[in-house]
Amino acid sequence: MRVLSEYINNDFKPFSSGETVADIQDFFADSTYSHFPVLEDGVYLGCISAVDAETFETQKSAADYRYALEGFFVRTTMIWLDVLEVFARNNANVVPILDENNKYVGYYEITDVIKFLNETPFLKETGGIIVVEKPTVDYSMSQIAQIVESNNGKLLGIFVSEAGNDKVQVTVKITLGGMNEIIQTFRRYNYEIISEHHEDNYLNNLKERSEYLDKYLNM
pLDDT digits (tens, 9 = 90+) for 85-115: 788 788 899 999 999 999 999 999 998 988 8
Instruction: Tell me, yes or no, whether 82 and 133 share the same domain.
Output: no
Give the CATH number, domain containing residue 76. Answer: 3.10.580.10
- Higher-pLDDT residue of 219 and 47 is 47
User: Longest C-alpha distance within the chain, in Å?
Assistant: 67
Asked whether the CA dihedral 81, 94, 47, 33 is positive or negative, the reply is: negative
- Its domain, for residue 42, covers 4-117
Answering whether pTM is above 0.85, one says no
pLDDT of 4 reads 85
Number of structural domains the chain divides into: 2
Give the contacts of 132 (CB within 8 A, at least 6 positions apart).
Answer: 144, 169, 170, 172, 186, 191, 192, 193, 194
- Higher-pLDDT residue of 120 and 39 is 39
**Identity of the residue numbered 59:** Q
pLDDT tens by residue, 157-206: 777 767 777 888 888 888 877 788 898 999 999 999 887 655 445 555 55
